[in-house]
Structure 1
Amino acid sequence: MLFKKIITAFVGQTDTNDGIDIRFGRYSDAHKTLEKYDSWARSTGFFEEKNYLQAYLEFFNYLLDDNESNLNYDTVQINKDGNVADFKIDFTLQQGSKIVRGFANSEEFVGEVKLVQVKGDLHVALGRRLMEMNYNLLYSGFSLDENGVIWIRFTTNTVDSFAGKLYNGLREIATRSDAQDDLLLNEFTNQLESIDDKHIEFLSEEHQQVKLRFLKKWIKEALDEIKKLNTERLASAISYMLLTLLYRIDYLLTPEGTITAILEDIHKVVFYDQNRLPVQRNDYAIKEFEKLLALSDKELVSNFYETKATFGISKPAYGQDIKEIIEKQLQAASWFDKNEQQEFTPFVFEYIAGYCLFNYGLPRPTKEFLHLYFQIICPDYFEALGANHTFSEKKENQIILQKNLVIKRIDFILETWEEMYPTITDKKTKIDYKDFTKFSFDYFSFVKELKITNQ
């Protein structure tokens, strides 16, 4: 048990980034360390004992991600006699482009975010939009102060401040403010301006330009290929092409702001808009990607910046969930392969990795194996970022695996996590490294059988 606590405190030790100092993919707070789960349990226990100071402190420790440095809190006032009923804790936590600030004391808990600054008077259309957004909030609400700052606030009495309520309330104001500030600024450009965003760290110009170049390259290549296809007969295949493009951009380029909003809109339409036929959903996605290409370099680059986060927006996935997803998509890949549509099979394999990383908070070993697959299929991108290793090379659109390096990385990931997950694999899986299609079938068959359990 002690070793498990130690290794989960150092989950950054697996060098999946190969010396590249940027984030990949969406932040997830699923599958926290054992020590963090212990803090949650202790917070609940202290709350039931009405020891609210310790309940708050354990809750904040639960939220703190040691790798992110996402949260600061300080007990700024306590009775000189040590009376735990007399205290005040100030805290700040980061969620993307926004900062949640607040305090907790023996009477109340308050968290709030400065969303945007209004220029002049509040226009009717903006007021209506805020009222619509307010209606969908469960724990918080929007407000406008005398200085024209739009806030989103969550407040509750300390006697009701159990860990679950605090988590959901803070998560709501943090994730909503991070998602809505850019959207409001883009929609009401002449009425609003950004506020409280000095903490954002922009990437180096070199990394910004690499991301810009590959964003435009990937979109153009995909759309050019799609234009050659029969949009009705091959609607399913085109959907795979568009979604793998979306997932690749989201995971490898980790955009923010306008780009992310467009990607999420495409995803929503393709998956959930039942009023459109598959061909129409594909056509919508194509037009949205064309809108991205039409944006200026300056507009696109402004979406590439580093942020810290406290709350993930993806639901956690466990072994059986992942297994079912992979099994279903391997069947789809097999169908394309056996029906003389082999050119679409690679999109299905990439879809597996991208879909899981986009939609779910994954156990760390699973995420590292899916990341490795992206390293294999996009060696030129990782090389442009300055990676220490490339695990394949492309020759005439064929992927040639660097077998020894891939095997070393697979073994390294397994060895890193086998103490934490003793039954992670029986290591009997055979992987074909000569043919990339066979490799992909074998590789995802291996990933779906990983046993991510502490038992």
Structure 2
Amino acid sequence: MNWLNFFYNKTTQLRHSFGRGINANISPNEEELFNKSYEAFEKQDILKAYNCFFKSLENFSGEISNENITTDLDGDRLNFVLYQGSAKVVGVVTQNNLYAEVIMLKTADAQVALKRYILERNYQLTYAYYFSDDEYIKLKLYHDNKTASPQKIFFPLREIALNADFDKEYIKTEFSDVILQDTGHIVKLDAEELQIKYDFLHNWIDEVETKISKLPTNDNTGMQSFLYLNILFKMDYLLVPKCEIYQKTSRKIQTYFSDEGSTTESKNEELRKYIVKLKEMNFEDFSTKFYNAKYTFNPMEKTSHEEISNFISESFIKIRWYKNNRYNQIIPTIYKYISFYILYNYGLNPVTKALMHTLVEIQNPAFFKALDYTPLYDEEKKTFAKKTIISKIEDAITPHQSQYKELKPFGDELNFSSLNELSNSYLIQLKHLNFEEI
């Protein structure tokens, strides 16, 4: 019962975080621990049930625990700490109930606008809610254990963790003078990695501006959209900005796809202005928008493979239109856009996520080389690390073949004649993966 939808890959360990999901392995005993938790709840052995459940949430880098969740049994109480980005969830379980809370900020620091925001958030939450005491404003959760089960406690814990993380970043963005509390677990990125990310962001922006300047003067609105949206999706997945950059980028993307009253031209202009602002951000300011932290829950709900397959099919129709109309210059961008769009918008199963990441590595070799990964594609020679790519595909699929009987590696079916052909054949194979369970 893999509730967490982790990025799972036994043989390939990433040294950096990519995207909004969890770049970690689940416990090899996750399903066993989940089942033991269920059985213990049935017997009303509450502390054992919670202990097994919490251990099923633990994730690992290789064989080393990330300690994203820790427990301490103290007599008839089980104390726990759960990390989700900027949020530290501290709680206690007794035979009768679960109580958890996240310290957000000092009560005295909350101005009227912030208090209004917090009150509005209470109407949006299902399980958790905000309150204040004499010292702090906190987000808290109370759960009765009379009818508890792993399924029933998963979603309340996920809600408090995800929303506390989101709200801390929102407050830091919109109320910059407020000092957030309980953030000692956050780790700054080292200066070298920050510089790499800063330089690549500027390179990408320069590249987009150059490409747009060379587009045909007529009928180029759609091509501009692909170029602008692709750089925002790319930035989110590869650079993984936090706080202000993440908040504003998310709003720009959401507005683009949801605002039916605006023309595509005006939407493109808004994206252009935002990208210019990103370009103008100095390194010192840029550096404050990044950090490393531990994560327990994925922010996106699981997406069916059919939905992903349909998106790839719809995207291929657009590619064919541009090919038929001889706008070949935009084709490579659309192939990259497909990859980043899927990773940004969909909750992927472990196989699909690992495969999509491999395609992103192939399509963006310079960035991964700068982070000291072996590139999978040589842009100058236009050659591929064919054996490594095939091996990565096998690594992503083979561990799951006992669960999905028709799931087969497809490395030998790929077209390595060019990057466009590789991307096309890769997405076709991914589109037709069969996730029928045994």
TM-score normalised by the chain length of structure 2: 0.89
Aligned residues: 432
CA apart distance, 1:421: 4.2
CA distance in 2, matches of 1:143, 1:410: 48
The answer as to whether partners of 2:8 and 2:26 remain within 8 angstroms in 1 is: no
Cα distance, 1:194 vs structure 2: 2.0
**1:437-452 paired onto structure 2 within 5 Å:** 437-452=420-435
Q: 244-253 or 222-231: which moved more?
A: 222-231
The whole-number CA distance in structure 2 between the counterparts of 1:274 and 1:11 is 38
Question: Are 1:234 and 2:220 an aligned pair?
Answer: yes
SS state at 1:350 partner: helix
Structure 1 residue 117 and structure 2 residue 106: aligned? Answer: yes
2:11 to 7, 14, 19: 14
Q: Does 1:184 align with 2:171?
A: yes
Residue segments in structure 1 that go unaligned for 5+ positions in a row: 78-86
Cα pair distance change 1:404/1:426, threshold 3 Å = closer
Instruction: Check conservation: 1:414, 1:424, Cα contact below 8 A.
Output: yes
Aligned partners of 1:10, 1:221: CA distance in 2, in Å?
31
In structure 2, what is the Cα distance between the partners aligned to 1:59 and 1:423? 31
Segments of 5+ residues of structure 2 without an aligned counterpart are none
- Give, in whole Å, the separation in 2 of the partners of 1:33 and 1:322: 27
- Identity rate of aligned residues, in percent? 26
Change in CA separation of 1:176 and 1:412 when aligned onto 2, cut-off 3 Å: closer
Partner of 2:143: 156
2:6 touches 2:26 (CA, 8 Å); kept in 1?
A: no
Quote the residue 1:70 is aligned against.
Answer: 68
Q: Deviations over 1:314-339 (max 9, x none)?
A: 12134323322222222222222222
The alignment partner of 2:146 has SS state of helix
Match of 2:258 in 1: 272
1:23 maps onto 2:17 in alignment: yes
Match of residue 84 from structure 1? none
Q: Residue by residue, what CA displacement relative to the aligned partner does 1:337-364 show, whole Å, maximum 9, x if unpaired?
A: 2221111111221122111211223232
Alignment of 1:26-425 (within 5 A): 26-28=20-22, 35-67=29-61, 68-77=66-75, 87-118=76-107, 120=108, 122-147=110-135, 149-190=136-177, 192-229=178-215, 233-387=219-373, 389-395=374-380, 399-415=382-398, 417-418=400-401, 421-425=404-408
Change (3 A) 1:428 1:393: closer
* In structure 2, distance between residues paired with 1:391 and 1:248: 18
Distance 1:110 1:332, change over 3 A: same
Partners of 1:363 and 1:255 in 2: how far apart? 23
Shift of 1:427: 4.6
TM normalised by structure 1 equals 0.86
CA contact (8 A) 1:231 1:238 kept: no
**1:59–1:163 contact (8 Å) kept in structure 2:** yes
Distance in 2 separating the partners of 1:421 and 1:315: 21
Give deviations 1:5-44, integer Å, cap 9, x for gaps.
9xx9994422264xxx212222259996784344334434
Q: State the Cα distance separating 1:158 from its structure 2 match.
A: 2.1
Residues 208-258 of structure 1: CA distance to partner in whole angstroms, max 9, x if unpaired? 111111122212322343355468832222222222212211111122111
Distance 2:403 2:418 in 1: 33
* AA of the residue aligned to 1:393: D
The letter for the 2-side match of 1:144 is: S
The one-letter code matched in structure 2 to 1:164 is Q
CA contact (8 A) 2:9 2:396 kept: no
